[in-house]
Structure 1
Amino acid sequence: MRSRRIRRAWLTTAAAVSLAFTGPMAPARAGDVPPGGSDPAVQEPLAVEAAPSSLAATGWTSPGGTASPGDFTMSPGALNSETAARVARLDAVLPKSGVQNLLAGANRTVTPWCSRDPFGTAPDPDVKYCLQSDDSTSPEWVPQGLTGVSDAKDNELWGEAGNIQLFASYDGSDPGRETDPDPTTGDCTPAELEADDACNQKGVRITFVQSRTNPATGTPEVKYRHVLLGWTYVNSAGHVSFDGLHASEYPIQKGVHAGGIVWYGNYLYVADTRNGLRVFDMRYIMDLDPDGDPRTHDAMGADTDGVRTTADTEDKTKVGRHDNVWYSFGYRYVMPQVAAWKFKATQSNPTGSYACVSTGAPKASYISLDRSATPDRLIMGEYCRPKTGYPSTGRIASFQVAALEGRTADVTAEGWANYLPLANGGAQGAAVHDGTLYVNESKGTDEPGNLWRYKWSNGQLVASGQPVKTARGAEDLYVERGTGRLWSLSEHRPGSASDCTANRDAADPVGTDYCQRVLYGHKSSWVDAQP
């Protein structure tokens, strides 16, 4: 097997359209794939790619101007039926956990209102959740997308559980992917894996967060738990297995960015930037440690070969089935992808920059849900930075979210589509509620971000007031209807030369208090009242 580094060097010179059919190389330890088998690195969705058009500005109107909803049309993933069959096989082998059981056993703790302050001179939010220190500073996991039970259910309850937020993080630290000293051995040598389990490409994880009352003590608490997202495939022995998520988004980003997520009913939609949407199902959260004791290596079921298997959640260096043992990079829970939606138009956004074409397939940089519309609508938008020949500030459009549950016919954005009014682009997240479009714009690590408000006027998006200052590294947006909060989260961490330099001092030489990640919520009534 050739290394990922060698493969990527080839990709930079090969025709981009071939990428849609070949995909990147499989990660280390996946095993060779026999003829007729499935390659874990070829994952749905896979939009058709081509070189950027020389007419890149075609269709461009102006910041805030109308765009073509038809460019956002998505088709069902070609592997949807096969994916469903693999998930059914996996379901027969691995036990499941419901969302409420997962939350009841949440093993990590949020500290509300700690000293970490990515807001600086910006106004404090209505609520601030600080993650445990390792999650706040992890170079491996970078938080991006955000959703919650207010999106999932009209009554904002999952069974009897409420006050739930979910956020997605992508694997942003892979020493084996970019700095492997021996490229002939693949991504990670055994020595590298032993020294740093981050060497593996783990893809994306979803974090379930809940504010609740501890049933034993009667005191309020906020707890959370990570869940690894997975892609099912058939391994070299003919067994169903799973891997982390991967996508052909290099060099723009490392793998699936998960810049936006939406929980709607049983389904979790995850943005796959250059391809479309990946779909997951809350009814298929696999539990590899049902007794809650990682040391026991619990018994699992048998695949079609009839061989009984076990699970090992102590070993963080492997994923999927190896020698009749299931691994999951050390995570107790794994949620496999069940379907996909891919852009129907050719993806021709330029690589190597954040510029965007003005027509054709967009980027799925972030998504959110508008439950204030009838019917409920999924919002999809682009992160773009205009440059010569590519004036687009990023398009945004909406779909009827219920149409995405059918998976048998194309789904087209409808109702409206616009270019964002941001002159310099840079939208990290957007949400619509009661006719207002809220957009988060990050301004880097050394100054607060901007929370913009826009209204529609004769089909054009126009600013409604001045931008509201918010956190550094402001990301996705989520409307929590019952509390009237507009939630977001910050992505930066301290430690590198470029992080929070304007706020370092003798007492805080690495900007620790300014850049550690937080979840936060502004009262939307307060936001709307700002000048």
Structure 2
Amino acid sequence: MPSRRIRRAWVTAAAAASLAFTGLAAPAQAENAPRDAPDSTVQEPLATEAASSPFAATAWTSPGGAASPGDFTMSPGALNSETTTRVTRLDSVLPKSGVQNLLAGANRTVDPWCSRDPFGTAADPDIKYCLQSDDSTSREWVPQGFTGVSDAKDNELWGEAGNIQLFASYDGWDPGRETDPNPATGDCTAAELAADDACNQKGVRITFVQSRTNPATGSPEIKYRHVLLGWTYVNSADHVSFDGLHAAEYPIQKGVHAGGIVWYGNYLYVADTRNGLRVFDMRYIMDLDPDGIPSTHDAMGADTDGVKTTADVEDKTKVGRHDNVWYSFGYRYVMPQVAAWKFKATQSNPAGSYACVSTGAPKASYISLDRSTTPDRLLMGEYCRPASGYPSTGRIASFPVAALEGRSADVTAEGWANYLPLTNGGAQGAAAVGGTLYVNESKGTDEPGNLWRYRWSNGQLVQNGQAVKTARGAEDLYVERGTGRLWSLSEHRPGSAADCTSTRDASDPVGTDYCQRVLYGHKLSWLDGQP
């Protein structure tokens, strides 16, 4: 093979031009050129973009002040109908698994209350889940969004299954691609792509977690399983196929950041920072290893060509259909996108910057569900760091979540929007309960994060008490109503900064790693009792 850096071999000049314009990554090592390159490889949603310019004080009120709810209006994705057709076609080829079956075969184990301590000098949470060591320290997968069955169902049960939590992680490390300034060209060789699965951009995975009793031993356990999110397309051989999720967000991240997720009914909503929302359906979780034995390479169905196919979940370097074999970067389960929502206003937030404009389309940095109001609302907010000419601390607004299931008309924010009362910005997640807005502010790896409490007063968001110190790298927020807990997770890993290997104090000669990832929950009653 030539040693020069190459893009995926099938990309045509037209497709490459399209991808160069949008900054999107194309399906890794796809079997054939897409039948309709611009429509098949450019993933929804795509908000209208314009060059950014400082808005200074335009529409800016103050931290906590009112913002324009109209800027949050979202329109149905232009490819929603086509996406439905593709997913239906994929469903005729690949077998499905329900959430309960997926959890019954969960293959990874949570270690509650391990010694990992991202809290440092902050108070311990009410509960802490530690992921397996490879997930806790993975350079590739970075945890972000959080949701669960308490969002999904009013009774907090999925069938007979309760105690289900979900978190999202994005692929944040692609060896061989890190130094490339142009995401349209890539810099992995074909040999690197084939040899190193991390060289591929996998996009986003969702992790299902369940606390339960082991039916064989009667002992309590917490198990989890990863599911790859996918985007369907049709290639030049007229085969339906799928890729991981990608988006025009380079260099801030190399794909959809999944900074917030909400599970509501059958649907999973995933934040796509510069564009809006991606939508997935729990009824379409494809199972590429139904017998649970990876080495058997199970038989799959036939597409419209009538050719029988098989699946290979042992090969971690490919995704989609190749020579009548289905691959999924080694994941047993794949959940394809079924729809999208995109911002109606022009997106003009500066690329490559954490600064935010004060008007126009916001960033969908995180989302959460508020079931404490009628109707249930989906909250959406921005991660922003104020800069010269860009004073915004980040806006937040909410939508009636049921309106998002229609996909036939614009959905507007529910009559209010505010700038967050964070002088320095940095909101990583927000959740509302009974008139209180909880906001996680990350302080990076340097110190524990801040969990703020706010209330609305005369159209303003006002601080309610002092910041509660929480984990380093604190991310999205999720309210578990039955247990009265506010859940979050930490994103940092060992080696990401010197602080990540600091000891807690002199009496700890081995050192407690501050930055191994954990899921954790604070009691709402405890939080509300803090000064």
| Shift in Å, 1:24 | 2.4
- Aligned residue number for residue 427 of structure 1: 427
| Shift in Å, 1:237 | 1.3
| Residues 49-128 of structure 1 mapped to structure 2, 5 A cutoff | 49-128=49-128
Q: State yes or no: 1:302 paired with 2:302.
A: yes
TM-score norm. by structure 1 comes to 0.93
Deviates more, 1:47-56 or 1:86-95: 47-56
| Residues 404-415 of structure 1 mapped to structure 2, 5 A cutoff | 404-415=404-415
- Aligned residue number for residue 10 of structure 1: none
Alpha-carbon spacing, 1:121–1:198, altered in 2? closer, same or farther (3 Å) = same
Q: Distance in 2 between matches of 1:461 and 1:493?
A: 33
| Shift in Å, 1:352 | 1.8
SS at match of 1:309: strand
Alpha-carbon spacing, 1:427–1:180, altered in 2? closer, same or farther (3 Å) = closer
| Shift in Å, 1:496 | 3.5
Contact 1:169 1:205 in 2 (8 A): yes
Contact 2:36 2:234 in 1 (8 A): no
Which aligned segments of 4 or more residues in structure 1 are displaced greater than 6 angstroms?
A: 18-21, 504-511
Contact 1:357 1:392 in 2 (8 A): yes
Contact 1:227 1:334 in 2 (8 A): yes
Contact 2:494 2:501 in 1 (8 A): no
| Shift in Å, 1:254 | 1.3
Q: Distance in 1 between matches of 2:7 and 2:520?
A: 37
Q: Distance in 2 between matches of 1:126 and 1:54?
A: 43
Q: State yes or no: 1:152 paired with 2:152.
A: yes
Contact 1:452 1:463 in 2 (8 A): yes
Q: Distance in 2 between matches of 1:223 and 1:352?
A: 38
| Residues 318-329 of structure 1 mapped to structure 2, 5 A cutoff | 318-329=318-329
| Shift in Å, 1:446 | 2.5
Alpha-carbon spacing, 1:29–1:416, altered in 2? closer, same or farther (3 Å) = same
Alpha-carbon spacing, 1:402–1:109, altered in 2? closer, same or farther (3 Å) = same
Letter in 2 for 1:247: A
Superposed CA deviations along residues 184-214 of structure 1, whole A, max 9, x for unmatched, are 9954334424543111100000000000001
- Aligned residue number for residue 481 of structure 2: 481
Q: Distance in 1 between matches of 2:519 and 2:467?
A: 20
| Residues 180-191 of structure 1 mapped to structure 2, 5 A cutoff | 187-191=187-191
Alpha-carbon spacing, 1:248–1:507, altered in 2? closer, same or farther (3 Å) = farther
Superposed CA deviations along residues 21-47 of structure 1, whole A, max 9, x for unmatched, are 755242441255356356654000000
- Aligned residue number for residue 286 of structure 1: 286
Contact 1:73 1:410 in 2 (8 A): yes
| Shift in Å, 1:473 | 0.3
| Residues 209-228 of structure 1 mapped to structure 2, 5 A cutoff | 209-228=209-228
| Residues 13-24 of structure 1 mapped to structure 2, 5 A cutoff | 22-24=22-24
Alpha-carbon spacing, 1:243–1:21, altered in 2? closer, same or farther (3 Å) = same
- Aligned residue number for residue 9 of structure 1: none
In structure 2, stretches of 5+ residues that fail to align are 9-16
Q: Distance in 2 between matches of 1:36 and 1:134?
A: 39
- Aligned residue number for residue 379 of structure 1: 379
Alpha-carbon spacing, 1:65–1:109, altered in 2? closer, same or farther (3 Å) = same
Q: Distance in 2 between matches of 1:472 and 1:510?
A: 20
Alpha-carbon spacing, 1:3–1:421, altered in 2? closer, same or farther (3 Å) = farther
| Shift in Å, 1:52 | 1.1
Letter in 2 for 1:67: A
TM-score norm. by structure 2 comes to 0.93
Superposed CA deviations along residues 95-152 of structure 1, whole A, max 9, x for unmatched, are 0000000000000000000000001110000000000000000000000000000000
| Shift in Å, 1:252 | 1.6
Contact 1:367 1:381 in 2 (8 A): yes
- Aligned residue number for residue 528 of structure 2: 528
SS at match of 1:201: coil
What is the CA RMSD across the aligned residues, in angstroms? 2.4
Superposed CA deviations along residues 290-322 of structure 1, whole A, max 9, x for unmatched, are 000000000000000000100000000000000
Letter in 2 for 1:361: A
Q: Distance in 2 between matches of 1:235 and 1:509?
A: 57
Contact 2:300 2:311 in 1 (8 A): yes
Q: Distance in 2 between matches of 1:45 and 1:57?
A: 30
- Aligned residue number for residue 8 of structure 1: none
Q: Distance in 1 between matches of 2:99 and 2:389?
A: 47
SS at match of 1:93: coil
Alpha-carbon spacing, 1:180–1:28, altered in 2? closer, same or farther (3 Å) = farther
Q: Distance in 2 between matches of 1:297 and 1:19?
A: 33
- Aligned residue number for residue 12 of structure 2: none
Contact 1:494 1:510 in 2 (8 A): no
Letter in 1 for 2:239: H
Superposed CA deviations along residues 136-177 of structure 1, whole A, max 9, x for unmatched, are 000000000000000000000000000010000000110132
Alpha-carbon spacing, 1:415–1:22, altered in 2? closer, same or farther (3 Å) = closer
- Aligned residue number for residue 361 of structure 1: 361
| Shift in Å, 1:444 | 1.2
